[in-house]
Chains A and B, each alone.
Chain A
Amino acid sequence: FFLTQPPSVSVPPGQTATISCGGDNIGIKNLDWYQQKPGQAPVLVMYDVSARPSGIPERFSGSNSGNTATLTINRVEAGDEADYYCEVFDRNSARRIFGRGTKLTVL
């Protein structure tokens, strides 16, 4: 089981960033998203596809459709520049699987 992410996404500040994560039957899995800034530990920004942890701005939202999950960041700010990873726990193989990450650049 693999999760496929685009290597990079670039958006101007104030615009909307969408980061995709593809995988077989991803719609039936509890998918999470993590944000990681340089030199820092990852931070959970979305869990169970579309639930926002406490402290994460409402500008962050998640969805899935078919075999693709999407993290959407509205009104992108310079501080959102980071690597974003999707992740699922594959119960069939008892493995936690991360996507390869998407580098979000705010132009």
Chain B
Amino acid sequence: QVRLVESGGGVVQPGRSLRLSCVASGFTFGSNGLDWVRQAPGKGLEWVAFMSIDGDNKYYADSVKGRFTISRDNSKNTLFLEMSSLRLEDTSVYFCARNSERGSLDYWGQGTLVTVSS
């Protein structure tokens, strides 16, 4: 079955960097676009970034553009989110999610918590 497992979350000081990983299994990793979506404590879902199958297309939310970088290693079935210049408001659970053929997010990981705190 399709499985997405995020890791790399933790507590980090403002201005520092962190890299999240999402390891996929149960499907042909190189056949789907992938997204990162986050959710601040007690808040709604906020889209963060998208990466196409071949990596040629990357899109970012305005709130993270220039600070976050999405990438993927199809040989390792892994999606990454490199986060720099972290801010207090970046504190969230970060989910990775697979794009279906129709562009919907049909499978999600369980998320990894990033806490930005001094």
Contacts and interface: CB of A to CB of B under 8 A. Distances in A.
Interface of A: 30, 32, 34, 36, 40-44, 47-48, 51, 53, 83, 85, 87, 89, 94-101
Interface of B: 35, 37, 44-47, 50, 59, 61, 95, 97, 100, 102-106, 108-111
Contacts, number: 59
A85 B44 contact: yes
A64 to B, nearest CB: 15
Contacts of A87: 45, 47, 105
B110 to A, nearest CB: 5
**Consensus secondary structure, chain A interface:** strand
Given A30-B102, A42-B95, A96 B47 contact: yes
A37 to B, nearest CB: 12
